[in-house]
Amino acid sequence: MSQDSQSENESTNAPQLVLQKIYIKDLSFESPRAVELFTAPAERPDINLQLNTHTEKLKNDLFEITLELTVTAKEKDSENVYYLVELGQAGLFSLSGFSDKELALTVNTYCPGILFPYAREAVSSMVERGGFPQLLLAPINFDAIYQQHLAKLKRAAENASSQAKH
């Protein structure tokens, strides 16, 4: 085998991530008390962010990864909702040459990290279009979240194992 064909084989086996498309899969904005809020002074709301990721293998090495965000702004110490934004920010990623562990890490950390700035902008834009002050979501460390998830799974497995012994 020549030097060129050997390096060609190595490069085709190397992990590759190709971003095919970024798009909004789902978007909803609700402000059930808009008139009341806009006609009377309101204090700064409490903001709650819920975040999930969903991964679907479509075909061959193509994955759809969706970052699902729910942002709820409520009156302090109350259940009165100022606004609610639900967003599914998705991307199509071609992922090849990854081991199972590398693939899991990539789809749970790297890909959501690519999608989050787009999701943050979409949420901010919807909140402003709804008549409210700009909302800037803080950056998210997806690596730390994934490591916490793995640690939780490990603890659960250890607890199950120790309970099975008793």
pLDDT at 73 over 60: yes
CATH number for the domain spanning 92: value is 3.10.420.10
pLDDT in tens, 105-154: 999 999 999 999 999 999 999 999 999 999 999 999 999 999 998 999 88
Distance in angstroms (rounded) separating the CA atoms of residues 105 and 13: 18
Q: Are 74 and 50 in contact (CB under 8 A)?
A: no
In-domain check, residue 121? yes
- Residue 110: its pLDDT value, please? 96
Distance in angstroms (rounded) separating the CA atoms of residues 83 and 44: 12
- Residue 1: its pLDDT value, please? 52
Distance in angstroms (rounded) separating the CA atoms of residues 64 and 54: 8
In-domain check, residue 101? yes
The secondary structure of residue 73, as a DSSP letter, is E
In-domain check, residue 100? yes
In-domain check, residue 159? no
In-domain check, residue 10? no
- Residue 118: its pLDDT value, please? 98
What kind and span of H or E run contains 97?
A: none
In-domain check, residue 1? no
pLDDT in tens, 42-56: 788 899 999 999 999
- Residue 18: its pLDDT value, please? 96
In-domain check, residue 6? no
Per the structure, the complete domain to which residue 96 belongs is given by 15-154
Domain count, the chain: 1
Q: What are 57's strand-pairing partners?
A: 63
